[in-house]
Amino acid sequence: MRARGILLLILGLGIILGTGLYAASFNFVTQQPAPISPGAPPPSPVPVGDSNIQITAPLPGVVISSPVAVSGKALGSYYFEATFPVKVLDGDGTVLGQGQAWAQSEWTVPGSVPFAGSIMFTKPKFAIGTIVFQNDNPSGDPARSKQFELQVRFKENTTAVDNVTGIVLLGPTCPVERIPPDPQCAPKPYTGAIVEVWTDVQRKHLLIPDTEIAKSTADNNGAFSFTLYPDYYRLIVYQEGKPYPRCEEKQITVASGVPQNVTMNCDTGIR
């Protein structure tokens, strides 16, 4: 009985060893993704646009310099004599440059026709601008006019500069104003005031929705400062849901190389 057990054990070990040798005789290779060729084209960008035009270059928010290459597809009705106008606008709507996009195939056909062009433009004042793609409308009829606006950033103004400083003041500080004014009743610094920077919804050429850009806490002298790109902004003082102090809102225009100092007055409610 004991001899039979030993025989079975030896037989089991032999089966296990044989199976291992059989598996080892195969060359198992883990499947790896095929390498991407350095010369392979990048994935196609997702175009933006509307039912009349689709733009593949440049894409929204990219940094551009002059000349800027434009490309995409537009309906044949967008063209006239195989072209349509393209403009580059500064942040305030000033035209920096204009040119034409050219059809890359027969334009008098149904459906979309590819286009390409290169637009030269002068140095901008602001960091954010717009490329306007307009249909060629020889009739001059406003009802037939179409356009698509694409927000971009300018390479010349992508460096933010610390050119906005200011002070927040509280006043009146006495219940009765005196003549001549009492120095003890002069406006006082609003220490700890939270000053916020927002996009200016009243800007001439609105490119982005009303958005908080930055915030700063006024020091013991009521002073604050910001590092901002050239553009239009609103400065407000956070109120925390309280009726007072009630602070004024300031609209500012930040331009390259033009420092600004802003005074924001807050009404204490003292009468």
> Is pLDDT at 166 greater than 90 in this prediction?
yes
CA distances to 72, 121, 173 from 207, rounded to whole Å, are 21, 19, 41
Interstrand relation of 63-64 and 147-154 (parallel, antiparallel or unpaired): parallel
The mean per-residue pLDDT over the stretch 93-113 comes to 93
pLDDT at 158: 60
Instruction: Give the confidence band of 266 by pLDDT, cuts at 50, 70, 90.
Output: very high
Cα angle: 179, vertex 181, 183; to 5 degrees: 155
Percent of the chain whose pLDDT exceeds 70: 76
Place of tokens 């009743």: 185
State both tokens at 73: 């597809």
> Is pLDDT at 31 greater than 60 in this prediction?
no
Q: Which domains does the chain have, with CATH numbers?
A: 48-157 (2.60.40.10), 161-267 (2.60.40.1120)
pLDDT at 160: 59
The mean per-residue pLDDT over the stretch 28-41 comes to 36
> Is pLDDT at 193 greater than 90 in this prediction?
yes
**pLDDT tens, position by position, 244-254:** 999 999 988 88
Helix (H) or strand (E) holding 83: strand 83-89
Percent of the chain whose pLDDT exceeds 90: 44
Spatial neighbors of 135 by CB under 8 A, at least 6 apart, are 52, 74, 77, 78, 79, 84, 144, 145, 146, 147
The mean per-residue pLDDT over the stretch 57-78 comes to 92
**Least confident residue range of 7-16, 189-198, 220-229, 242-251:** 7-16
> Is pLDDT at 223 greater than 60 in this prediction?
yes
**Least confident residue range of 164-178, 213-227, 250-264:** 250-264
Average pLDDT, the chain: 80
> Is pLDDT at 14 greater than 80 in this prediction?
no
Instruction: Give the confidence band of 45 by pLDDT, cuts at 50, 70, 90.
Output: low
The pTM of this model reads 0.56
